Structure 1
Amino acid sequence: MSSQSAADVPVDRLKKSVPDNAPGAPAEKANHRWWVLAVIAVAQLMVVLDATVVNIALPSAQKALGFSDGDRQWIITAYSLAFGSLLLFGGRLADLIGRKIVFLVGVVGFAAASALAGAAQNFEVLVSGRALQGLFGALLAPAALSLLNTTFTDAKERAKAFGIYGAIAGAGGGVGLLLGGVLTEHLSWRWTLYVNLIFAVIAFIGGMTVLRKGAPAHRAKLDLPGTLLVTVGLFCVVYGFSNADKHHWGSPMTWGFLLVGVVLVAAFSWWQTRARHPLLPLRVLLDRNRGASFTVLALSGAGMFGVFLFLTYYLQQSLGYTPVKTGLGFLPMIGALMVAAQLVTNSLLPKFGPRPIVPLGMIVAAAGMAWLTVLDLNSTYAANVLPPLLVIGFGLGLVMPTAMSVATERIGESDAGVASAAVNTMQQVGGSIGTALLNTLAASAATSYLADHTGKLAPAQAALHSYSTAYWWSAALLAVGGVLALFMYRGGRPAPLDENAVAAVHM
């Protein structure tokens, strides 16, 4: 482990170590770089898929294991909270002990956690497995991005490599929804977790074969106090929101955890100004446009779960859709998102900058979310579900690439990895808090409805009322994000991105 990794040094230095007359040396090195990309792509697809593949299977898993509506959000939250809160730690660990070893440990751990969750016979084991998936995913994702950064140093190859990587990250969510439906309907909900073993075997064998050993020459120090403060603090915030379902907002189990979480996150922010080697340097957050982007990513991540989680239940339980049909139903939204993203990247952002684009996208997405509140038991997909889905997808397509681009522009080389990890962290933690909050509000709305209504259709109408409540709150989160974006972003066009920022944008 003492020798420096070939993947951690510039390509021109690698070339100097190979005699010019070595037969086939340049071709072999070029081939090696693309094999590295292939391995990283498989691992990235595994991580991205897992953010959505389980959503489609959730109703089936809930029926099989018998957990409550109030508990179901922990299947998603356990993964995203562990993943989001530990990403910065995973990135530092890769810098400290080496990218290859952290990558391989992440792959093996992710596979083992997937097997545990897939074999779960009760709610507790399933949640534990999902949390472990998030933990090992937080090791895997930053190590993979670091390997890609250090392997591709030629500008043209780098752009192509990160274009492929970005396409996988963008399309993975849609693929996950469809794959989750196919596996749940034709095999079992457990196969939405077991499928990770196939990806993991390919990624591990490839990683052992093509990745090079070694840690960076300049090792970063681990900010252990900062890691503990932010991880425990974020957990307490999400746990506090989740407890409002079983207890109430005035219970110490709710506001007590929320208060402790806020205090710990504040302490983390203070500690980052004192630590010699901060986990998240505050200079990354204090830039006005960058801070606006992080805020937008957190709020959009929270709001998005209103459509992914509750519309899944509506399509399957209220309209009687199969898991495969449900997965197919989300694809137009993903398509609209990708169309809008291309429009923003190629035309709008270079001309206008983020200030008019992001608020517009957030308001459009909020309008689409509010549109979903009119759904009832007689609604049809083509007339009532598809139009708001397209609106939501287009709005989010305006927001996400713009916010990611601005969040990583004008970042120095030493902070590029931290900024990239922070983008993922904001999305994951926003999604975790959003899932906990929306599920709590929806479950409370259903309980209140049933207390005031009786009859044969009361349970079905209570479910519709709970979904509508979640949609309204999602719309509110997105609208608030739009207003904040309007005032937080500076006007004008963005500065040109350097290579490090381009890499971070396609994370």
Structure 2
Amino acid sequence: MGKNNSRKWLLLIIIACASFVIALDSTFMNVAITSLVKDLNTDIGTIQTIITFYTLITASLMLVGAKLQDIYGQKKIFLIGAIFYGVGTFIASISQSAPMLFFGWSLLEGIGGALMTPATLSIVSRTYTGKDRTIALSIVSAMAGIAAAIGPLFGGFVTTFLSWRFGFAVELIVIIFIFVFSKEIKDFEPISTGRFDKLGSILSIFGLVVLVIGILAINSDFVQFSPFIIVFAIIILAIFYYYENKLKNNGNEPLFDVSMLKIKNLSVGSIIRLIASVALAGALFSISIFLQSVMKIDAFTTGLTLVPLTIGLLLFALISPRLTNYISHKLIICFGFVISIIGALLLRFNFGLDIDLITLLPGMFLLGGGLGFVISLILDLALNEIEKKDQASASGFISTSANLGISMGTAVIGTILILGAFGGLYDAIDQYYPEKIDDAHFKEDAKNYVNKVGTLSEDQKENYHVKEISNIIVFNAMKLVMNVIILILIIGLGLSFTLKNIKYS
């Protein structure tokens, strides 16, 4: 009995490691943006796209990964995903150009993450029951959130003292660890004998990819096409919904049973998970940019400054399962949103050119702590009414929401940051250098400084004093970013009131 118990929790450790390393990838490079721009001879927009597409590719393939588990078995698909992931981390670690980094990190690791993530949730959900299930799902969820939050410190350490390449090497070590102990992973029997829904897969992948491309287009030379791209993506996803519904009604097996969306906790819970991911990823990305470009602190110090957010998320996530003995899941999640909103408000009023970094710590602790409550418990609530045969599919849907949220957080908040910066460019020049208001060459250098995050030559800085202008622009943009994050969190709070509480049998 004791031995079986130990094996059961050893399985949780393996799954938690997988969840940790996949989530780590989404944030640990944020603090290395300046180094990536220089080392790969590129710009911040390209790096933002690479970061965004890692989570986008993972999100767009998540439903496919979940369905493949049903057909071929969770363990087999999980390990195939680990192979993709391991090869991707190796290629990323030796990248010499932005396209090479994109291939190893965004593409291969994205595919690997899509195959592994649904299995991590469904294996846990099918293995544990009752309070054990709450604890296990909280730990797996918390590991993902903690990894996303601790990423900046980890990335800052390796970037400052070693190289950002070592970050990918560490991930490869974790993947090797997972393979060494893979025999502990229970091999659940496939639960589907139906055909693989190829058309549904194409529609879901294409729709999600086009959606984020439309968002990214806002910050590009194709900005005028962005609304049309986004609307086109929504149309594709609507077609996917009706096609899947038609398959189910005709007695065929769809990629995803859309009738499950009638279960309120699954549909609302997935949206809440997306919102939490948008807020977390957006805050980490924008604050990292602010600290490095405006405050001019190194990657490691940036990571240290973000540690309070990580600690808050970790502490609140760890105590949340115990709190469920006295307070409902729903109330804890609502309270979590309130705490995170307070944290974002504190950050909103503390950004400035001459700020003491200590003033940011309370806001980041509360923002991370509140999200810790939300992220750790929403999975248990969302999957509570799902039948065992649908666990993989539902897990894939929630994972899609979480990863799409991370992707959108980087894309949307990053775009708002840059749009706010460029939107204030004219006013900043008019205020500080009115004699150059019609100097196109001057304004182009200022624009390039913002886009390159401080990589202009010393001559350009001395001639035009662009640094002062770009600092003011980014400072004003951060206010807009925090306002948007607060609005997103308020929406999450409103939705959390509609959730149904868990009743243990």
| TM-score between the two structures when normalised by the length of structure 1 | 0.82
The reply on whether 1:125 has 2:100 as its aligned counterpart is yes
The reply on whether 1:495 has 2:502 as its aligned counterpart is yes
- Distance, in Å, in 2 between the alignment partners of 1:319 and 1:166 is 32
Alignment coverage as a number of residue pairs: 463
Q: Identify the match of residue 471 of structure 1 among 482, 487, 491.
A: 482
Q: Identify the match of residue 255 of structure 1 among 204, 217, 227.
A: 227
Q: How far is 1:33 from its partner? A: 5.2
Aligned letter for 2:502?
A
- Distance, in Å, in 2 between the alignment partners of 1:179 and 1:350 is 35
The reply on whether 1:138 has 2:138 as its aligned counterpart is no
Contact 2:215 2:230 in 1 (8 A): yes
- Distance, in Å, in 2 between the alignment partners of 1:481 and 1:161 is 24
Q: Pairwise mapping of residues 34-113 of structure 1 onto structure 2 (< 5 A)?
A: 36-113=11-88
- Work out the percentage of aligned pairs sharing the same amino acid: 25
Q: Which runs of 5+ in 1 are unaligned?
A: 1-25, 499-507
- Distance, in Å, in 1 between the alignment partners of 2:503 and 2:64 is 29
**Which residue in 2 is equivalent to 1:12?**
none
- Distance, in Å, in 1 between the alignment partners of 2:149 and 2:337 is 20
- Distance, in Å, in 2 between the alignment partners of 1:177 and 1:269 is 37
Contact 1:110 1:137 in 2 (8 A): yes
Q: Pairwise mapping of residues 332-351 of structure 1 onto structure 2 (< 5 A)?
A: 332-342=308-318, 344-347=320-323, 351=327
Q: Identify the match of residue 224 of structure 1 among 180, 198, 203.
A: 198
Q: How far is 1:55 from its partner? A: 2.1
Q: Pairwise mapping of residues 115-264 of structure 1 onto structure 2 (< 5 A)?
A: 115-131=90-106, 132-148=108-124, 152=127, 165=140, 168-207=143-182, 210=184, 216=190, 218-247=192-221, 249=223, 251-252=224-225, 254-264=226-236
Query: After the TM superposition, which of the residue ranges 210-219 and 427-436 deviates more from structure 2?
Result: 210-219
- Distance, in Å, in 1 between the alignment partners of 2:355 and 2:342 is 18
Q: How far is 1:204 from its partner? A: 2.4
- Distance, in Å, in 1 between the alignment partners of 2:270 and 2:136 is 25
The reply on whether 1:460 has 2:471 as its aligned counterpart is yes
- Distance, in Å, in 1 between the alignment partners of 2:481 and 2:145 is 25
- Distance, in Å, in 2 between the alignment partners of 1:65 and 1:311 is 23
Contact 1:237 1:433 in 2 (8 A): no
Q: How far is 1:162 from its partner? A: 5.6
Aligned letter for 1:140?
M
Cα deviation per residue 1:308-363 (whole Å; 9 max; x = unaligned)? 00111222232233322222222222222333345544336854562x55455334
Q: How far is 1:431 from its partner? A: 2.2
**Which residue in 1 is equivalent to 2:462?**
none
Q: Pairwise mapping of residues 286-325 of structure 1 onto structure 2 (< 5 A)?
A: 286-325=262-301
Q: How far is 1:32 from its partner? A: 5.7
- Distance, in Å, in 2 between the alignment partners of 1:352 and 1:157 is 16
- Distance, in Å, in 1 between the alignment partners of 2:495 and 2:14 is 40
Aligned letter for 2:75?
K
Q: Which runs of 5+ in 2 are unaligned?
A: 434-464
**Which residue in 2 is equivalent to 1:362?**
337
Contact 2:71 2:191 in 1 (8 A): no
Q: Would the alpha carbon gap of residues 329 and 221 (structure 1) be closer, same or farther in structure 2, given more than 3 Å must change?
A: farther
Query: What SS is found at the alignment partner of 1:453?
Result: helix
Q: Would the alpha carbon gap of residues 220 and 38 (structure 1) be closer, same or farther in structure 2, given more than 3 Å must change?
A: farther
| TM-score between the two structures when normalised by the length of structure 2 | 0.82
Cα deviation per residue 1:473-501 (whole Å; 9 max; x = unaligned)? 22222223333444xx05xx713247xxx
Cα deviation per residue 1:37-90 (whole Å; 9 max; x = unaligned)? 554444333223222222222232123223333333212211111111211211
Q: How far is 1:422 from its partner? A: 2.0
Query: What SS is found at the alignment partner of 2:232?
Result: helix
The reply on whether 1:431 has 2:406 as its aligned counterpart is yes
- Distance, in Å, in 2 between the alignment partners of 1:469 and 1:239 is 22
**Which residue in 1 is equivalent to 2:376?**
401
Q: Pairwise CA RMSD of aligned residues?
A: 3.0
Q: Would the alpha carbon gap of residues 416 and 97 (structure 1) be closer, same or farther in structure 2, given more than 3 Å must change?
A: closer
The reply on whether 1:381 has 2:357 as its aligned counterpart is yes
Query: What SS is found at the alignment partner of 2:190?
Result: coil
Contact 1:306 1:471 in 2 (8 A): no
Query: After the TM superposition, which of the residue ranges 333-342 and 77-86 deviates more from structure 2?
Result: 333-342
- Distance, in Å, in 1 between the alignment partners of 2:333 and 2:194 is 35
- Distance, in Å, in 1 between the alignment partners of 2:494 and 2:134 is 34
Contact 2:279 2:409 in 1 (8 A): yes
Q: How far is 1:259 from its partner? A: 1.7
- Distance, in Å, in 1 between the alignment partners of 2:279 and 2:143 is 23
Q: How far is 1:93 from its partner? A: 0.9
